[in-house]
Structure 1
Amino acid sequence: MATQSLADYLAKAKADALTHLAGKGQADGHLLLVMGNSAGDLDSAASAIGLSYLLTQFPEVRSRLGLPASLNIAPLVQTAPEDLVLRPENKIALLVAGLQSTSPLHVTDLKDAAGRSLDHSSSVFGPSNRVHIGLVDHAALGAEWRSSTGSEADRDVVAVVDHHVDEGAHADAKLRILQGPGAPGVNVPTGSCASIVAGLFHDHLSAGEVPREVADLLLSAVIIDTDNVRPAPEGKASQVDEEAMKTLLPVSSFADQSRQTQLLSVAKSNVPAEVQALSHDQLPVPSAQAKSNSTKEYWSLLVASKGAVDHLSDRDLLRRDYKESLVSEGAFANAAALRFGFSSVPIGLSRWIGRVNEESASEAVRTTAWNKWWDALDAWRNERQLDGVVIGTSFREANRDGDVKHRREAVVAFASRRLTAAQTDSFWLTLIRELESSSELDLRKWKGAPLPDGGREHTLGLDDAGRRGDLRAIVRRQDPHASRKVVLPTVVRAAKLALSRL
């Protein structure tokens, strides 16, 4: 049975990891860094913390995987603690589990013996330094973590636990579980990576051998990623997610009324000010199809907090849920590869761009707002040295009948730093043709906020050819089920095809 509290474990794991990386650890000691994706969302953080804790507490699982006996395991969050302001839902889930924003190891904590920040491509993170890597909530090690030599042998990825598309990377990992779209035997992709982690330790959880705060943290990730366990196809929950909730609920705070009340009190005390200002009737309501009735109030608080972004700048919205992907094909590899950035934003474009009452705003006001927004997008592209920017919005809006529907929008913008003008024209035509013919994306004409004349807002700031200087862009509505798990691999495939035809 696990006897160490989650907070005590994280404090020791963090200290041991930093000691090892500074070259002051045991001569025969090994370190396993379990990292979520670079977006740092709740599912990534909870899965990294949960898997690290459970592997540490139950050594027979480590032994079965053939991991070293003298192994320190630490979760690594790929965002800075101060950036938690971008993700208030993460802060709430950590507090509910008895943790602070600084409890886990963060990338900004990684220092050498002299206190200097460690470059992620450093050999310090390689097997020569007895450092191993585990990935959760993403299927391939990010480009920034690859060795400066470019050799995959300089990174030892021993675990991959994910629910995204299998990229075929790290095929020899000792623990490799991928339950994303297209995976063998997976009819419905798993909605939350935390569900897979819970399934790995089902027996220990069911036997009550895991502290309640671990179950609470994993449960937080599961419900926010599955719309409170709303079954597919209307929702995102698979059988794996439903089984995970059956495992977690009885050993969580929701199994006891007084503890549930305490949990909700912590959550309510830490939601953003704009959520505190909402009445109970204004909070999000889970679908009647959602299967977890006992967690619906907590789910509402998490979802409302996740959507409380009106105070964030355009740059913050672009970086709060962000991933990058290098696209290489043929001659366009290594330094010539294209860099695409993918941002997920939990509000619609009209609300984001306008930040005003669209129904009363003149076209001149809207044009100014769109121009400012395109400038912010291009500034982000330059800051991250991107060729392509892909933005996916996800939000709810009422239709004319008053029914609230889930919507998604897509923005694809491109201005290459690596292609000639002629190559850029050819690449863009192929890319957009492939994306607009994708049945998975189902891209359609964009319709924004209602206007006084009865019409809908239209895209501004681009010329008739869809250009703004060197930037080419499209703005579309898309299938509400096409999350980034679908969009990212679809864009990468289309971009690879476009490169192959140059």
Structure 2
Amino acid sequence: MYTQHLILAALAVAASSPFSIAASTHQVPFLASPSASSSIPAGVGHFSEWSAATKAYFLEDIAKGNAANWTLVMGNEGGDLDSMASAFTWAYHLGHVDPSKPAIGLLQTPEDALDLRPENKLALENVKMSPGHQDLLTFDELPIPAAELAPLLRGIVLVDHPQPVADWENATILSIFDHHVDRDYAPHASPRIFLPTASCSTLVGRQMLNEVENLPEGEYHLPHELLELLLSAIAIDSKGLQSKVATPTDKFVASRLFRRSAWRDESMYDKMEDIADVLKDAKKDLDHLNVRDLLRRDWKGGIVETPEDKPDIHLGFASIPYSLSYQIGITPNQTTQNWFAIERNWTSEIHADATVALNSFKRYVGKDGEEVEEMWLGDEDEDEDEDEDELDEADVISPLKRKGRKIKERQIILVTRPDHRLSESLADSLFAHISEAIESSDVLNAKPWHGKATLGPRQMVWTHTVANGGRKLIRPIVDDAVEKWGL
């Protein structure tokens, strides 16, 4: 009955949409490239049918003033595969357990940024979602600004994120699922699950299966496409269940999901490793992205509260798997200040006051001493297994030892600007305060970038070789500096 209601709403609101809502039992293998799936019809399968219909129903109901009926399930603003799979899965589950309380997954990224993560695009195509993301609800499609919509909703569920960004702070927090550090937010949320697993999809999948298995048999259908989307997220986050980052919980939950999926007759570990390899290859297909795309691809930010005599700061972090030298080389003028002009244009659009871009890459030093750079997806992947040709911060990197090896390097780019909340003097003060926090960190031992002379006011670049020194390490240092600014 619930799905029929959604389909009727979809027909009424989106009759011109090209997706099909006909149910299908057609199954496809996990494909190795997006182009290979071009023959798959739009919106094939029960999960795509539900997602498209729910989106139409939501937009119709909000227009009627019925926001109080709805639960929004959302991940972090970086919009990785884990956040996306977790949000869609829990929204599907909630809407079927209690159809009187409809739920929808929300991607906290604009529609035009979705394909900046090619692994997401590939995973969606492989579970037969509509091309062009017609059946997904993105942040820029909300019919009411998020800050206005938040208090009108029944509530929100956070997945892969411990607390809401500023736009959603006035919403009722119903539940939280996260595999990171518990920040003690919304203590009365239920379920409220924090567990250090490789993937948040593991936690959502476990809770869903626990509840489904306590329902009367046949109470609702779990589409295999949804299960395979969850498994894909677990696979890429756990490196195919082969890595040390895969916890026993990841493996056990994956086995439960796998038994219900269309892959159940295959070897789970072989299949998960294959999926991880395919998605990892797709994730590295970034050579076509420009600097603006690279800044937006993995962006996380929000408002940081400061001491009472200072304005609160919109602080953002970008994670980029290329060096600054490479990025400068793909700017129109191939200059340092051309890169910062592009950065300023993008961050001004979103009214950011301070930006931290975290670059990670590997420098290969040949036997002849010639250096070659390559990308390194070293933030969320920072626990990747080492190979014998790589060095990290634990190694003594002498000129002799560098030859014939790959050295992991990182860069921190800091910019503050007086465009929005800050005066020139406050922007200078904030810049100096964050800079001092970075330079005084014994963990980082950050050094000025070799091109420091090309930098302008309130611009700084440091280098360091802490292999696990991505956003998870840098963000708390910068957040703490902003929170104590001027104290």
Q: Say whether the 8 Å CA contact 1:165–1:489 is kept in structure 2.
A: no
Question: Deviations along 1:115-165, whole A, 9 cap, x unmatched?
Answer: xxx21121x4324xx53111112222211334xxxxx4xx21212212233
Out of 148, 151, 156, the position equivalent to 1:133 is: 156
Summarize deviations over 1:285-342 as a string: whole Å, max 9, x none. Answer: xxxxxx9443333222212222211211111110111111222222156xx1112111
Which of 300, 305, 308 is 2:282 aligned to?
305
Rounded to whole Å, the distance in 1 between the matches of 2:72 and 2:358 is: 30
Q: CA deviation digits over 1:27-55, x for unaligned, max 9? A: xx721011122222211111100111122
Sequence identity percentage? 29
Letter in 1 for 2:464: R
Counterpart code for 1:246: S
Residue identity matched to 2:253:
A
| Aligned counterpart in structure 1 of residue 63 of structure 2, from 22, 31, 54 | 22
Q: How many Å apart are 1:477 and its aligned residue?
A: 2.4
Normalised TM-score (structure 2) = 0.72
Q: Distance in 1 between matches of 2:249 and 2:476?
A: 23
Alignment-derived partner of residue 379 in structure 1: 345
Q: How many residues align?
A: 401
CA contact (8 A) 1:406 1:480 kept: no
Matched, 1:35 2:38: no
Segment of structure 1 superposing worse, 389-398 or 132-141: 389-398
What is aligned with 1:175?
A: 191
Distance across 1 between alignment mates of 2:84 and 2:192: 19
User: What is the CA RMSD across the aligned residues, in angstroms?
Assistant: 3.4
Instruction: Tell me the equivalent position of 1:495.
Output: 482
1:312/1:13 Cα in 2 relative to 1: closer, same or farther (>3 Å)?
same
Gaps of 5+ in 1: 60-68, 112-117, 147-151, 180-188, 261-290, 357-364, 447-457
Q: Deviations over 1:212-238 (max 9, x none)?
A: 212210111122223333544xxx433
CA contact (8 A) 1:81 1:102 kept: no
> Paired residue for 2:411?
410
SS in 2 for 1:71: coil
C-alpha displacement of 1:426: 5.0
Question: Which residue in 1 is equivalent to 2:34?
Answer: none
By how many angstroms is 1:249 displaced? Answer: 3.0
User: Is residue 47 of structure 1 aligned with residue 22 of structure 2?
Assistant: no
Deviation of 1:73 (Å): 0.9
**CA contact 1:307–1:347 (8 Å) conserved in 2:** no
Counterpart residue type for residue 157 of structure 2: G
Partner secondary structure for residue 102 of structure 2: strand
Matches within 5 A, 1:41-120: 41-59=80-98, 70-100=100-130, 101-111=133-143, 118-120=144-146
Asked if 2 retains the 8 angstrom alpha-carbon contact of 1:159 and 1:174, the reply is yes
**Equivalent residue, structure 1, for 2:313:** 338
- 1:56-98 C-alpha deviation (Å, 9 max, x unpaired): 3344xxxxxxxxx720011111223343321221111111112
Which residue pairs with 2:473 in the alignment? 486
- AA aligned to 2:343 is L
Aligned in 2, Cα 1:109/1:338: closer, same or farther, shift over 3 Å?
closer
Q: 1:375 to 1:416 in 2, by over 3 A?
A: closer
2:259 aligned partner: 250
Q: 1:99: how far off?
A: 1.0
1:390 partner SS: strand
Is the 1:394–1:406 contact (alpha carbons within 8 Å) kept by the matching residues of 2? no
Which of the numbers 174, 186, 190 marks the counterpart of 1:158? 174
* Shift in CA distance, 78/419, structure 1 to aligned 2, threshold 3 Å: closer
Query: How far apart are the structure 2 equivalents of 1:230 and 1:477?
Result: 29
TM-score when scaled to structure 1?
Answer: 0.70
CA displacement at 1:386 relative to structure 2: 2.2
Q: Distance in 2 between matches of 1:414 and 1:250?
A: 49
Q: 1:282 maps to which residue?
A: none
SS in 2 for 1:371: helix
- Aligned CA distance change for structure 1 residues 159 and 373 (closer, same or farther; 3 Å): same
Q: CA deviation at 1:490?
A: 2.9
User: Shift of residue 425 of structure 1?
Assistant: 5.1
Distance 1:313 1:378, change over 3 A: same
Match of 2:231 in 1: 219
- 1:473 offset after TM fit, Å? 1.1
Q: What is the one-letter code of the residue matched to 2:298?
A: D
The secondary structure found in structure 1 opposite 2:57 is helix
**Whole-angstrom distance in 2 between the partners of 1:302 and 1:109:** 27
**Whole-angstrom distance in 1 between the partners of 2:361 and 2:430:** 31
Quickly say closer, same or farther: Cα 1:203–1:134, change in 2 above 3 A: closer
Task: Give the Cα separation in 2 of the matches to 1:399 and 1:253.
Answer: 45
